[in-house]
Amino acid sequence: MKNNLGREIFEQVKPFASSDAFNQESRRLIAKKTTEESVVFLKSIEEAFDLLKIKNGMTISFHHHLRNGDKVINLVAETLKKRGIKDITIAASSLFPNNAPLVDLIKDQTITGIVTNYINGPIAKAIGEGYLKNPLIMDTHGGRARAIESGDLKIDIAFIATPAVDRLGNGSGKFGPSACGTIGYVIPDLMYAKKVVLMTDYMTEHIVEPELASEYVDYVVMIDKIGDSEGIVSGTTKVTRDPVGRKIARDTVRVLDALHLIKDGFSMQTGAGGVSLAVVEYVKNIMIQSEIKARFASGGITGQYVDMLENNLVDTLYDVQCFDLKAARSYRENRRHIAISASEYGNPFEIKPIVNDLDFVILGATEVDLDFNVNVTTDSLGQIIGGSGGHSDTAHGAKVTMIVTNLLKARLPIIKEKVTCVTTPGEDIDIIVTERGIAINPLRTDLIDTLSKTKLPIVTIEDLMKTAHHIAGVPNHYELSHQPIGYVRYRDGSIIDTLYKIK
């Protein structure tokens, strides 16, 4: 069966139709959980396992706010293995290389299912090699919130790494040795999982305005260490010094300027990639020179945005996850640095998710095709190397969605006739900025009108591909295997593409 983008998908799934098809549907909500009794404090994970009666076939969820420093996922997985529990589905908002110990548990079928928004490192490789028994499901950040609240993703137990817990069982990411800042991605798990366990290494008397309210919490488990807060720093939070990257960033800002998007009261989101960070630097300079103040910036928040907040260049930060410790500190100290949940951020069925209020978003791409579809899930051989995260959510919500990318990465042209895997549909991608020219989606005649009157190097996407081929040669066609190992679920719950076993 093929979906509307012509991508082959599993039988008996809902095929992707279009990025606004969700408007024809109504929001589905399962009952929120409530705990009948007060929170029970436990001293070990073993006690928790006894009380929770964890058994074969359950779905266990985690968040990724401690990123590559998380210790809770591995601890729970190790305990599952020790107890001989099988057939577990792991619903983690993301998985990182430090979760490598899960590979053995996938191979011995302790873990047979994974639902996540982003995955790289050894687990991604093992899944690509076909070791996961059930199909891998890759959601978006907003789509995961939708999946949980609708019951499409039913969670039996949420193990929530919580940097600080108070004596009533409220939790926060603000305090403690593993403080990571906002913990927005776990809010749906908190509200809809059948059982909720806060895993912590820091107790405090009283938390004012906790992100995790005790009314949803069943157990609190004290362990030695939930993580290493240095590990929450994203790998890519440095402004690029590469001249090609800086040219792309400069041209991106020229486009923003030409479209009059940098004006008083604007809103923006950018990723944590080196080029995106350079874009923010240039935008910031324009704001200072022209005395412009932004209304808000959203997303994963970096120290760069904290500087803008503290210098009164932006009114408010809506933060679903802190990319560095400076952001975590700002969230703790600044009332204008506001935590939002995954649902408030990007769930299509929220009345006003933050992404819908964005004037522009700057995103990356592993591949872009002639239909402007973007892949950030696999490399060109089909190996999983990431996932949507908020890519599809912001691309749909923002008024202007720009992709910044080198035209070639290690000889490989980024522009392809067809992407290896569709993460974000082309209808939501407006402008591609490369060092060799800027392509505008033909659907956006308004942008073409405005930008063709400037001196910017506007070309067609076909031209960009030809330029890439001229430099690198036309790449041989690479046929993926025909053995599906999972699928990419668009934010509305429809299936946008299939993932295949690597050869």
Alpha-carbon distance of 371 to 386, in angstroms, equals 21
| Per-residue contact string for residues 62-101; x = within reach of other proteins by CB under 8 A | ----------------------------------------
Question: Residue 271 and residue 186: Cα distance in Å, rounded?
Answer: 20
Nearer to other proteins, 53 or 409 (CB): 409
Residues in region 331-390 near other proteins by CB under 8 A: 380-381
Least separation, in Å, of the C-beta of 501 and other proteins? 15
Measured distance CA(23)–CA(350) in Å, rounded: 11
Distance in angstroms (rounded) separating the CA atoms of residues 194 and 478: 45
Residue in 490, 497, 487 with CA at minimum distance from that of residue 136: 487
- Min dist. Cβ of residue 412 to other proteins (A): 6
Binders in 462-501 for other proteins, by CB under 8 A: 471-473, 475-476, 478
Q: How far is the CB of 436 from other proteins (least distance, A)?
A: 13
Instruction: Provide the minimum distance between the beta carbon of 482 and other proteins in the complex, in angstroms, as a whole number.
Output: 17
Return the SS3 of 222. strand
Q: What secondary structure letter does DSSP report for 226?
A: S
Q: Contact at 8 Å (CB) between 496 and 7?
A: yes
Nearer to other proteins, 403 or 502 (CB): 502
438, 458 Cβ separation under 8 angstroms? yes
Kindly state the smallest distance separating residue 340's Cβ from other proteins, in Å. Answer: 37
Number of Cβ within a 10 Å radius of residue 154: 17
Phi/psi for 336 (5° steps) reads: -90, 0
Tell me if 79 sits within 8 A of 71, measured CB to CB: no
Q: Which is nearer to other proteins, 133 or 470 (CB)?
A: 470
Q: Where are the strands (E) in 303-443, listed by range?
A: 314-322, 337-339, 360-363, 367-369, 374-375, 400-404, 408-409, 412-413, 415-416, 431-434, 437-440
Whichever of 319 and 435 has its CB closer to other proteins, that residue is 435
Q: Map the footprint of other proteins across residues 96-135, applying CB under 8 A.
A: none
Binding of other proteins by 235 (CB under 8 A): no
State which residue, 222 or 412, has the beta carbon closest to other proteins: 412
Closer residue to other proteins (CB): 193 or 468: 468
Q: Closest distance between other proteins and the C-beta of residue 474, in Å?
A: 8
**Minimum distance, C-beta of residue 471 to other proteins, in the bound complex (Å):** 6
Output the smallest distance, CB 417 to other proteins, in A: 13
Query: Per-residue x/- marks for other proteins, 137-166, CB under 8 A?
Result: ------------------------------
- Taking the complex as a whole, the smallest distance from the CB of residue 409 to other proteins amounts, in Å, to 8
Q: Residue 30 or 471: which CB sits closer to other proteins? A: 471
391 vs 122: CA distance, rounded Å: 23
Q: 57 or 473: whose CB is closer to other proteins?
A: 473
Helix (H, G, I), strand (E, B) or coil at 368: strand
Cβ distance to other proteins smaller for residue 133 or 411: 411
Residues that contact other proteins, how many (by CB under 8 A)? 13
> Which residues are paired to 269 by β-bridges?
361
Which residues within the stretch 403-422 sit at the binding site for other proteins (CB under 8 A)?
408-412
Q: Measured between alpha carbons, how far is 144 from 31 in angstroms, rounded to an integer?
A: 17
Query: Residues 286, 239, 179, CA angle at the centre, nearest 5°?
Result: 105
* CB of residue 245 to other proteins, shortest distance in Å: 13
Residue in 218, 226, 224 with CA at minimum distance from that of residue 161: 226
**Nearest approach, Cβ of 418 to other proteins (angstroms)?**
14
Choices 56-64, 140-148, 402-410, 486-494; region in contact with other proteins by CB under 8 A: 402-410
- Angle, helices 303-310 vs 325-333, to 10°: value is 40
Of 384 and 458, nearer to other proteins (C-beta) is: 384
Environment class of residue 335 by beta-carbon count within 10 Å: exposed (0-12), middle (13-18) or buried (19+)? Answer: exposed
Nearer to other proteins (CB atom), residue 10 or residue 478: 478
List interacting residues with other proteins (CB under 8 A): 380-381, 408-412, 471-473, 475-476, 478
